[in-house]
Structure 1
C-alpha cells in the first residue's frame, strides 16, 4: 500500500498551511545528515528541521499532547 504513494509526495517547492491563527511554510530540505522537513513560522520568525524519526514520533502522540503544548508559553 505504501508503495503506491510517491516517496516525495509528488510535491515541488514549499507548502503553505495557514488559518486565522497561524501560518507555516513546510519544505523538504537536504542536509549533510539526510533529508529533513523544514517548518518555518513567518509570524513568529521561528524554524525547526525534523528528521524522519522525529516526524514519526509526532505521529503517535495523543491530541492532548498538542493541547498541552499550546497552553504553554513559548520559551517557558
Structure 2
C-alpha cells in the first residue's frame, strides 16, 4: 500500500517532462526538425560570435604592430 501512495506523488519536474512529451508527440516531423535545428543554431551562435571577436581582436593587434602609433603621429 505504501508503494501505491509513493507512485502517485510526482515531482513537478516529472510532471513538466510528461507534459512536454505529450506536446512533442502531437507535433509533426517537420515541426520537430525545425525545433531541433533552431536549438542547435542557438547553441552554435555563441561560438561563432566568439570566433568573430577573436579574429577582430587579432586583426587589431596585428595592425598596431604593422603600423606603430609613433609612425602615424608623424604624418
On whether the aligned pair clears a TM of 0.5, the verdict is no
Greater share of helix residues, 1 or 2? 2
Larger Rg: 2
Q: TM-score with structure 2 length normalisation?
A: 0.31
Greater share of strand residues, 1 or 2? 1
Q: TM-score with structure 1 length normalisation?
A: 0.31
